Amino acid sequence: MTTFLVAHGAWSAGWAWKKMHSRLAVGDDRLFTPTYTGLGERVHLAGPSIDLETHVQDMLAVLEHEDLRDVVLIGHSYGGMVVTGVADQAAARVASLVYLDAFVPGNGQALVDLGRPDRFWHIMPGIGRFNWPISMLTWDVIVLNGYLLLNLHICGYLVYCAYRRREPSRIFYIPFVFVAIAWAISIHTVTAFLYSGLGGRPFWNSAVSCAQVVR
């Protein structure tokens, strides 16, 4: 018998997992999908005092009152923060820990520490530490800005020729059109690499939770 306990995402609730009951709660297996305080059907309990620790306590209460042991603890999205706290305080009841497209904090980290928006200035050439070619983000900056410059040249040249009522010279824009086509492929290639690593960069693809949650 396997017991699953799910910690849902920040903008969700236990009901979001209702379709999984028929898939995971099969035979003697059980699936628990509690809703955090202040969300979903418990939204009437919302208040400024609710934070990450509140949600950790929600999950710990389920473990205790349902007397769950050898649990497969699943954290989805923001739930990764919750299950990390739960596993830290109730390790004896947890058989395994699953991070499903979730935040994976280190010891002492808050949610905002994983994204580090304060490091945005590093992507500015000549100002920040670009960290090229190691960082995939720098490749993203290069291909996007390169594509922008190519299209500015092509469109700018054609608009200029139209304004001056002169026939555009093919040599000044046709080669750039073909370069831009190939460049567009590089954009999607870099994007594919970025998306394949979203497990380690969840902050890029997730809304910023309210300050009360991430503190």
User: Which residues are part of the catalytic machinery?
Assistant: 77
Q: Which residues contact 45 (CB under 8 A, 6 or more apart)?
A: 37, 38
Q: Which residues contact 107 (CB under 8 A, 6 or more apart)?
A: none
Closest CA to 111 of 4, 10, 29: 10
Answer for the pair 48, 23: CB distance below 8 angstroms, yes or no: no
Alpha helices in the chain (DSSP H): 21-24, 52-65, 79-89, 111-115, 136-163, 174-196, 211-214
54-76 per-residue burial string, b: 16 or more CB within 10 A, e: under 16:
bbbbbbbebbeeeebeebbbbbb
> Encoding tokens for residue 7?
């910690």
- CA dist., res. 23 & res. 46, Å (int): 31
